[in-house]
Amino acid sequence: MTITFELDGQRFIALNGGPRFKFTEAISLQVNCATQEEIDEYWTRLSQEGEEGRAGWVKDRYGLSWQIKPGILSELLNGPDPEGVKRVMEAMIQMKKIEIAELRNAYDQRPS
């Protein structure tokens, strides 16, 4: 009924809820990526036979939700320019897979 596993040094215990309890967005795993290449790699692998969401969310082929996000996102969303922060949020919610260059451009108000 349960399984214990480890991801990136974090221990997890999962419970088999049977056919009545399915995966929902109430449970998701977050992957912090340093580069666009990492984002692209995780996105490609996890969305294969899965479902692309918005703003860096993807469901894998089993229905588990993942948040694929760049580490720089926190920096941009906590930047000193409130208008830049707003532009980053607006840009991000229009994306499926997060594009780091587009987020930076949005903060700096440069056309992409």
Residue 8 is assigned to a structural domain of this protein: no
Number of domains forming the structure of the chain = 1
Residue 40 is assigned to a structural domain of this protein: yes
Residue 62 is assigned to a structural domain of this protein: yes
Residue 59 is assigned to a structural domain of this protein: yes
Question: Which domain does 84 fall in, by range?
Answer: 24-108
pLDDT score at 22: 76
- CATH number, domain of 79, equals 3.10.180.10
10-residue stretch averages of pLDDT, the chain, 112 residues long:
82 78 81 95 95 94 93 93 95 96 91 52
Residues 12, 4: Cα–Cα separation, whole Å: 6
Residue 67 is assigned to a structural domain of this protein: yes
Pairing of strands 28-33, 65-70: parallel
pLDDT score at 111: 52
Residues ≥6 apart with Cβ < 8 Å to 98: 39, 55, 56, 68, 69, 70, 73, 92
